[in-house]
């Protein structure tokens, strides 16, 4: 509790409502506290953005979008978001906060540390509700993007809930540099690491890693640091769990392989599909298979096991160990990493595929386990496999892989290959020099430097240092941000004479999307329509509107069809329904006077009796002071 005593927020009250009792966990972007909601007299989890980050309006906006994103998913297996806001504390610092349901219990990480390897029955009991929560998010059009044991909470009564949609698609804008991805390397899908858009199948990949870890007690890949872990996810196949825990049902092996297919097209489409498949697999397993216990000492027998720290104890919503922080890794700081926690959430360079880290020589090769279309798996060379006829999925995979794996020869083959490559490169450069300069006696040629991935200004500077000029064209790109060089012509390494400019193709950012027409839709439907268009919704104002039902969009700032940047917030005005007006007293007035007073109050008069002359109102059907919606019809009696 010393950390809580040193924390200046502990003991204070946020917004005169949330009394901060103690600190539960600290992450890379925020700290989670246990707090008392004084207004409703209940415990809540208070997630507060770090003060230095709260100074950035863009990050605060992202933090608030996280609340809106998670609040759109209402499901028993998803942690409920209750409130969000920002205020200024006594020292003048911005306090951006998110209030969530407090979940007494522990994270799935703690369960794995204490109990894994688990029996298939216990593993499926934990994974099935996790998938149910993810399926609810996927049906709402959301992708979690950071599925890992730290974000799965197990309550004291055994119920399982998914937490922290902070990296979900609706909560994450287009990266400002185009050179980084957020996530946890141990659970990131290959396409996500390569910088491609991540959809529901990336969550399915992480769920497959979760299943592997529940059954074996460890992650499939470990290495000195997160970059090496990511490298292995890109270049190796996830092994089957039974290679570590012999005797596991083959159908569970097949399920892990299906979820972790390198090509997302070969995986289950989303968590709903996976949930259905997992339920069918469970129904087909016998009691003996479900209760298969791993051999005694299996966890310690395998090298490279994930360390087992002391259980941190009870946790709240979005709790995770301090080791699992989101740590930015700028491009200029990319260097061989030191020893880091394998499952730490970090920002990774998009170009991870080119990381010069070598794969672990003891790792399973890419073909360590290859499932057939019916889910049957091949086995690593040290484990015999039952022969099965090739099916569609196996044929697709074999079509994508080379017939002969390069780099599998001995040192002599590698040395000869390197010598030949250097020789051919020298010949190519000499030819380029000769042709580009008009002969060996002409002016010296200049080699185009590598420019792809740099911003336009840096690329121009490098060209100028080489004595070259640039001719820029732009095109939209969904992956790289505005101003980043996509390609060059001639390509890097080509020899040019310097008389012609180097053509740079520069990203103009994602292509704009047309604003949808949200008028007349409920707020929920408006969010859904905006999300389908790749946009967010910001309720700018709520006001009375007689023509629009309460809770529906009365107007929007951007006209339907107007071009907007993907991820932008479309501001709307939501109707609170017709304005309410008090019924005025009209008894004793003439019919004309009463009609005028009622019209001024936004009401419509119906007169029983003579409506002209000196006759006066003797009774009114609605008592004076009654609140009525604008435009209501009222009756008055004139005698």
* Active centre residues (catalytic): 146
| Residue listed under structure tokens 């290679």 | 243
- CB-based contact 24:32 (threshold 8 Å): yes
Q: Which two tokens stand for residue 487?
A: 């390609």
Report, in this order, helix, strand and coil percent for the chain, each rounded to 5: 30, 20, 45
As a whole number of angstroms, the distance between CA 162 and CA 318 comes to 9
Q: Among 414, 378, 375, 368, which residue's Cα sits nearest to residue 393?
A: 375
Burial tier of 194 (Cβ tally within 10 Å: 0-12, 13-18, 19+): middle
For residue 352, give Cα distances in angstroms to 16, 159, 238, 588.
Answer: 47, 37, 18, 84
As a whole number of angstroms, the distance between CA 76 and CA 135 comes to 12
The tally of CA atoms less than 13 A away on the side-chain side of residue 462 is: 18
The tally of CA atoms less than 13 A away on the side-chain side of residue 607 is: 20
For residue 10, give Cα distances in angstroms to 22, 106, 541.
Answer: 6, 22, 34
Q: Among 371, 320, 351, which residue's Cα sits nearest to residue 151?
A: 320
- CB-based contact 109:213 (threshold 8 Å): no
- CB-based contact 481:177 (threshold 8 Å): yes
Q: Is 423 helix (H, G, I), strand (E, B) or coil?
A: helix
| R_g of the chain, CA atoms, integer Å | 32
Backbone dihedral angles phi then psi of residue 562, each to the nearest 5 degrees: -65, 140
């Amino acid at each position: 509790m010393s950390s809580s005593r040193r924390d200046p927020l502990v003991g204070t009250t946020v917004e005169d409502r949330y009394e901060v009792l103690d600190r539960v966990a600290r992450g890379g972007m925020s700290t989670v506290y246990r707090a008392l909601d004084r207004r409703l007299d209940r415990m809540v989890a208070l997630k507060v953005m770090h003060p230095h980050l709260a100074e950035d309006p863009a990050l605060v906006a992202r933090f608030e979008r996280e609340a809106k994103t998670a609040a759109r998913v209402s499901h028993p297996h998803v942690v409920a978001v209750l409130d969000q806001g920002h205020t200024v504390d006594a020292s003048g610092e911005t306090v951006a906060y998110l209030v969530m349901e407090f979940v007494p219990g522990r994270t799935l990480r703690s369960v794995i540390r204490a109990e894994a390897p688990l029996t298939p029955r216990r593993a499926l009991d934990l994974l099935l509700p996790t998938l149910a929560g993810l399926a609810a998010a996927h049906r709402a059009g959301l992708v979690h993007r950071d599925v890992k044991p730290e974000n799965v909470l197990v309550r004291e009564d055994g119920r399982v809930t998914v937490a922290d949609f902070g990296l979900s698609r609706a909560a994450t804008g287009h990266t400002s540099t185009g050179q980084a991805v957020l996530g946890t390397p141990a659970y990131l899908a290959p396409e996500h690491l390569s910088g491609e858009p991540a959809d529901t199948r990336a969550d399915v990949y992480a769920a497959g890693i979760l299943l592997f870890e529940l059954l074996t007690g460890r992650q499939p890949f470990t290495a000195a640091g997160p970059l090496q872990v990511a490298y292995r996810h890109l270049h190796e196949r996830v092994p089957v769990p039974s290679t570590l825990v012999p005797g596991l049902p083959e159908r569970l092996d097949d399920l892990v392989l299906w979820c972790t297919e390198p090509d997302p097209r070969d995986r289950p489409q989303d968590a709903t599909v996976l949930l259905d498949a997992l339920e069918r697999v469970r129904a087909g397993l016998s009691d003996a298979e479900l209760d298969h216990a791993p051999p005694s000492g299996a966890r310690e027998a395998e090298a490279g096991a994930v360390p087992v720290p002391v259980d941190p104890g009870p946790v709240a919503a979005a709790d995770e160990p301090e080791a699992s922080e989101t740590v930015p890794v700028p491009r200029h700081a990319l260097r061989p990493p030191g020893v880091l926690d394998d499952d730490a959430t970090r920002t990774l360079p998009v170009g991870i595929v080119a990381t010069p880290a070598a794969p672990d020589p003891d790792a399973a090769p890419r073909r360590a386990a290859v499932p057939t279309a019916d889910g049957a798996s091949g086995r690593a060379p040290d484990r015999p496999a039952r022969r099965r006829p090739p099916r569609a999925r196996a044929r697709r995979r074999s079509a994508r892989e080379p017939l002969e794996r390069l780099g599998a020869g001995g040192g002599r083959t590698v040395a000869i290959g390197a010598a030949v490559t250097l020789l051919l490169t020298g010949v190519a450069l000499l030819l380029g020099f000769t042709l580009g300069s008009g002969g060996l006696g002409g002016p010296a040629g200049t080699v185009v430097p590598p420019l792809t991935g740099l911003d336009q200004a840096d690329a121009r500077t490098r060209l100028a240092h080489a004595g070259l000029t640039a001719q820029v064209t732009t095109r939209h790109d969904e992956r790289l941000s505005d101003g980043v060089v996509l390609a060059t012509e001639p390509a890097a390494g080509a020899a040019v004479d310097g008389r012609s400019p180097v053509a740079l193709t520069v990203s103009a950012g994602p292509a704009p999307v047309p604003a949808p027409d949200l008028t007349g839709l409920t707020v929920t439907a408006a969010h859904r329509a905006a999300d389908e268009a790749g946009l967010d919704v910001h309720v700018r104002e709520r006001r009375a509107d007689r023509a629009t039902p309460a809770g529906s969009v009365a107007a929007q700032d951007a006209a339907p069809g107007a071009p907007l940047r993907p991820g932008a917030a479309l501001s709307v005005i939501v109707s609170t329904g017709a304005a309410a007006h008090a019924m005025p007293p009209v008894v004793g007035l003439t019919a004309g006077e009463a009609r005028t007073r009622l019209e001024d109050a936004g009401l419509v008069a119906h007169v029983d009796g003579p409506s002209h002359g000196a006759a006066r109102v003797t009774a009114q059907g609605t008592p004076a002071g009654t609140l009525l919606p604008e435009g209501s019809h009222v009756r008055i009696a004139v005698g």
